[in-house]
Structure 1
Amino acid sequence: MSVLNKTLAVTLAASASFATTAAMAQEEVNVYSYRQPFLIEPFLDKFTDKTGIDVNIIFGDQGLTERLKREGRNSPADVILTVDIGRLQELVDQGVTQPIQDETIESNIPEQYFGENNEWVGLTSRARIFFTSVERMEAGEIETYEDLADPRFEGRICTRPATNAYNVALVASMLAEHGEETTRQWLEGFKDNLARKPQGNDRAQVKAIRDGVCDIAIGNTYYYGKMMENEEQRAWAEAARIEFPNQEGRGTHVNISGMALAKHAPNEENAYELMRFLTEETAQSMYAEVNYEYPINPEVAPSETVASWGDFKADDVSLAEVASLRRRATELINEVGFDD
């Protein structure tokens, strides 16, 4: 081989190596997440091990929607992970998502957990349940959300502010079930039964049961698991039981964590790889277990801890409908002065 040909061969080999390295460097997907990194990194690492696609995470507890709007077409975001139907719908309303069109995802996730036009997809669920006093109440004394307005529970109920996203979603589900006038009357009766002004978070309501302030509280299921793993808060959880409302009727209201495909996703193919993975068994099990949530894929069982709380019937109302009623729900909450 001539010197010229040897030089050319080396140059071509170097170029090929560089091209391969560059191609490998492009094997990435960028995630904007409202969920804290420690909750999602374990299964994202599994995704990278399986696919060779690196996952870059930008975490924010607020402001990610505004960031996406500001970045526009130059945004590096591919997939957005968040909690609560309200935040998912906000992404859609602000025009920073695009429809998710994939047969695998659609086969893994039940229809009611898709947004309108598939603009978002649910990943895990949490039930909005009653915590009731083990000491002062019999199981089954309160059976439905409608019972929260029953005068026999006057002065016995605690809740965080109704304008909190989780309670807004619950009120929106009541609107979907009963309409505006009945929901207004229910809110007024519910308010009359409060033991104190709405305050704190879901865990604070369970503490209030332990402290004898109230006998009934409304909260998300996963907080029970979180309290049981906390040395100080375990006593709060042990003072209360979990009860699933409306089991003889429409079922218990659930909210979700979910995902959306960014409107200008620069790594769309890799984004779909990740989103498929998040709806499959490995990620569904890990995602749900780390935060004591329920997998949405019906083929995946909940963790042993979550399963110990018992089976329940979930409300099958479309969460897209619940999302569409959130604004009116907030207005009704304010009109009756629930948090005043």
Structure 2
Amino acid sequence: MTIRTLLMATAATAIAAPALADVTIYTTRQPELIQPVMDAFTADTGIAVNLEFVNEALIERLKAEGARSPADLVMDVDIANLQRVVDEGVTQSVDSQVLMDAIPASLRSDDNQWFGLTTRARIVYASKDRVADGEITTYEDLTDPKWAGRICTRSGLNNYNLALLSAVIAHHGEEAAKEWAEGIKANLARKPEGNDRAQVKAIWAGECDISLGNTYYMGKMLEDAEQTEWANAVRIVFPEFEEGGTHVNVSGIAMTQSAPNKEEALQLMEYLVSPAAQAIYAEENHEYPVLASAELSDLVASWGEYTADDVDLSELAGHRATALRIVEEVNFDG
């Protein structure tokens, strides 16, 4: 066979081979945080992943696009937001034994509409210099008057804080949750502002002694030369609820109702709970894998062990509206 004939045959084969479809994800999570695991999927399968950052108008956009939406999957970093997407009827149930086997029942919906991919604990960052070991053991401790003028936190309207307040509702009821929110507000050192990292910076600067935050921000701060000093000024404390555990939230995924590339999208969903993908999440994003057999990164393991609260995440999503009303009633951010 001549070189010309060989090239023609190769070209014909390439034309005949079906092109692998891309998978498009609408994500409320910053794309750079999940790009490494998507790159690994593409390298493994040849399927490209398009990450499109959609912040406030995710549901509205999916509804407007309808059956013509290019989105195959949606990713979010809060259980209440995931449940809202499902409740609006823009997702579909996914039948996958791989997902069922990999993800604990408490970290996925009963109707297989959303699936947790990673977890993060909502913890306390405590000053190494001004807060003794053992001073904080429960979330309820945070309302003790001894913390007056010593707590920093981001807005009470933030998804992570609303999820935590929803957990307080689940454990103690609405009236007690309102008292808890009022107690936290009474102990604030300043008006809620900034993100979780800004609270740690405030502790480093001596503006407060403790703050609420997600675990993975410790890893992110240690990677940033400007923020390393902030991170080294605090330690992670895993408070628990009285008769409960440490509050956790999830980053999760759901398949859209339209999903033009359903087969490839399912392939990606299953890949994301594989040992390889879960290891990337743990190493790159400093999160906790949902796959029990996946190993923690050395840094995450160094923070210590904790017992996750066993309140069903779907229940927390159901308390979001009440939590939002409480935050507004107590004028938490005022």
* TM-score, normalised via structure 2 length: 0.92
How far has the Cα of 1:142 moved from its partner?
Answer: 1.2
Contact 2:20 2:46 in 1 (8 A): no
Q: In the alignment, does 2:222 pair up with 1:228?
A: yes
1:195 aligns with 2:189: yes
Q: Which of residues 33, 44, 47 is equivalent to 1:50?
A: 44
Question: Runs in 1 of length 4+ with deviation above 3 angstroms?
Answer: 13-19
Deviation string for 1:168-221 (max 9, x for gaps)? 000001111111111111111221111122111111111111111111111111
- Cα distance per residue 1:229-265 (max 9 Å; x no partner): 1112111111111000017741110111110011111
Give the whole-Å Cα distance in 1 for the aligned partners of 2:43 and 2:205: 47
What are the Cα deviations for residues 20-46 of structure 1, in whole angstroms up to 9, with x where unaligned?
34x2x2433222222333222222222
Answer yes or no: is the 8 Å Cα contact 1:247–1:312 preserved in 2. Answer: no
Contact in 1 for aligned 2:80/2:318 (Cα 8 Å) = no
Task: Note the C-alpha offset of 1:148.
Answer: 1.1
Partner of 1:282: 276
- 1:165 is the counterpart of 2:167: no
What is the alpha-carbon distance in structure 2 between the residues aligned to residue 213 and residue 14 of structure 1? 68
Structure-1 residue corresponding to 2:55: 61
Unaligned runs of 5+ in 1: 1-12
The answer on 1:83 being equivalent to 2:77 is yes
Residues in 2 aligned to 1:158 and 1:39: alpha-carbon distance in whole angstroms:
25
Query: Equivalents in 2 of 1:37, 1:160: separation in Å?
Result: 22
- 1:100 and 2:94 matched: yes
Structure 1 residue aligned with 2:16: 20
Map 1:172-321 onto structure 2 (within 5 A).
Answer: 172-246=166-240, 249-321=243-315
The aligned counterpart of 1:140 is 134
| Cα distance between partner residues in 1 of 2:15 and 2:228 | 56
2:4 paired residue number? none
| 2: CA distance, partners of 1:120 / 1:296 | 14
Q: Secondary structure at the match of 1:235?
A: helix
2:229 partner letter: A
Residues 231 and 67 of structure 1: CA distance in aligned 2, closer, same or farther (over 3 Å): same
How many percent identity over aligned positions?
A: 52
Shift of 1:19: 6.5
- Provide the C-alpha distance between the structure 2 equivalents of 1:15 and 1:197, rounded to a whole number of angstroms: 65
Distance 2:226 2:42 in 1: 37
Amino acid at match of 1:312: Y
Alignment correspondent of 2:66 = 72
Q: For 2:330, which of 309, 323, 336 is the aligned residue?
A: 336
Cα gap change, 1:314 to 1:213, in 2 (>3 Å): same
Q: Distance in 2 between matches of 1:338 and 1:274?
A: 40
Cα RMSD over matched residues?
1.9
Q: How many residues align?
A: 326
- Higher deviation after alignment, 312-321 or 165-174: 312-321
Cα shift readout 1:272-316 (whole Å, capped 9, x = no counterpart) = 111111011111111232221111111111111111111111112
Contact 1:27–1:52 (8 Å) recurs in 2: no
1:157–1:217 contact (8 Å) kept in structure 2: yes
CA distance in 2, matches of 1:232, 1:14: 53
Matched residue type, 2:144 = D
Q: Is the 8 A contact 2:80 2:316 kept in 1?
A: no
Secondary structure of the 1:290 match is helix
